[in-house]
Amino acid sequence: MSVRASLGDNGHQLTIRVDGRFDFSAHQEFRDAYENSTSVITYVIDLGGATYLDSSALGMLLLLRDHAGGDTSKISITNCNDDVRKILTISNFEQLFTIQ
């Protein structure tokens, strides 16, 4: 598991890439990845390298959403593999996030 964050669009877009198993062990790193970014408007969660997602990862996404402004947040989740996508679909997270 690894979490990498990168800023783009003049600091307005934060991309967080999670590789490997996205579960509770990513908790602190994932939080650290966005907590201190103040000028960010849009968030991209790149799950291209994520092999698995559990319910605590869903919880972390909800925490990010809360941090990013709740209903007004702009978060897209990209590059999900079939397994990861299925978990997001079962939980109907497309109602809260833009899933690409």
Partner 1 sequence: MSSYKVLIADDNNVDRKVLSRVVRNQGNEVIEVSNGFEAVDAFREHRPEIVLMDVMMPGLNGKEATRQIKHIAGEDFVPVIFLTSLSDAQSLADCLESGGDDFLTKPYNYIVLQAKIDSFHRMSEMHRTLLNQRDEIARVNRHMLQEQRVAKAVYDNVAHAGCLNAPNIRYELSPLAVFNGDVLLAAYKPGGGMHVVLGDFTGHGLPAAIGAMPMADIFYGMTAKGFGLREVLREINQKLKSILPVGFFCCAAAVELSPDRQAVSVWMGGVPDCYLLRADGECVETLSSRHLPLGVLSGDQFNDKMTELPMSKGDRLFLWSDGIIEARNSAGEMFGQDRLLDVVRQARKPEDVFTAIQSTVDAFTSGSEKDDDTTLIEVLMDTLSGAQEAQKSVKGTAGTGPIDWSMDYCLEASTLRAFNPVPLMNHIMMEVPGLRAIGGQLYTVVAELFSNAFEHGVLGLESSLKDSSEGFMEYYRQREERTKGLKDGFVKIRMLHTGDGHQGDLTLIVEDSGEGFNYNNGEIFHPSENRYSGRGIPLLERICQSLEYEGKGNVVKAVIHWPLDQEARSNA
Using CB under 8 A, list all residues that contact partner 1.
55-56, 58-60, 62-63, 66, 71, 89-93, 95-96
Instruction: Supply the minimum distance, in Å, between the C-beta of residue 55 and partner 1.
Output: 4
Contacts made by residues 15-20, CB under 8 angstroms, sequence distance 24+? 15/43, 15/44, 15/45, 15/46, 16/43, 16/44, 16/45, 16/46, 17/46, 17/47, 17/48, 17/49, 18/45, 18/46, 18/47, 18/49, 18/50, 19/49, 19/50, 20/49, 20/50, 20/51
Task: For partner 1, give the closer residue by CB, 50 or 96.
Answer: 96
Quote the least distance from Cβ 92 to partner 1, whole Å.
5
